[in-house]
Structure 1
Amino acid sequence: MQTEETIEINEWVKTIPASDIPADGGVCIRHNGEQIALFNFARRGEYFATQNLCPHKQQMVLSRGMLGDKAGTPKVACPFHKKQFSLETGACISGDDYHLKTYPVKVENGFVYLGITG
């Protein structure tokens, strides 16, 4: 569900019930004052988490973005200007020099957990 690089997770934070995230959609949560977008990519059977802030126009909107894939890479497109970002790496895959912060996620006992690093 995340990048191939090794990520050391310091803590798994219990967030919300997985059932609260619409299939093939997202929701916004707050953790330590930061807005985080949680996505249920039901077509792939995977969950993802990124910052909610779209770096293009500095709007807190990515949780309302459109999910899809590009050449097998799961992505979210900003609902306003359609900038596309990899849900795995946070890289902008629409040719621009933007990047999202991504978080490891897991689902256990019906809840989504957010991996906090460093």
Structure 2
Amino acid sequence: MDPSFGLFGGRPRLPRECSCGNTQDERCNEAGLLNHHNYPPFAYLQDENDIDLRYYGQDDTEFMYSPIRHWALVGEIVDINFFIRPRVTIQTRFGEKVLVNFHLEDANKP
């Protein structure tokens, strides 16, 4: 069982599955941006303080983890808002809507 997916294991159901038809599995035969392992759904990303062993491996010392595979969250901007701070809502190709907040310094200038 992969410890990165909660106490009861398994992955959450997505509004739209990967076109490979096997989003629940580690393997994906799709290439480029269609590969759900390289470009995972937001619901499958690890929490801020968790280590996902699909993307990190232990060093020789066994006390440190280093990246062993790259990943990226990709989405289309569907809404822009400036309440308190700049933020956008993105929609992933899996149908998830994700709020992205920007915490800027220097009077909210990027």
- The structure whose residues are more often strand, as a share, is 1
By relative contact order (CA 8 Å, sep 6+), the higher-ranking structure is 1
TM-score of the two chains, using structure 1 as the length reference: 0.27
TM-score of the two chains, using structure 2 as the length reference: 0.28
Q: Which has the larger radius of gyration?
A: 2
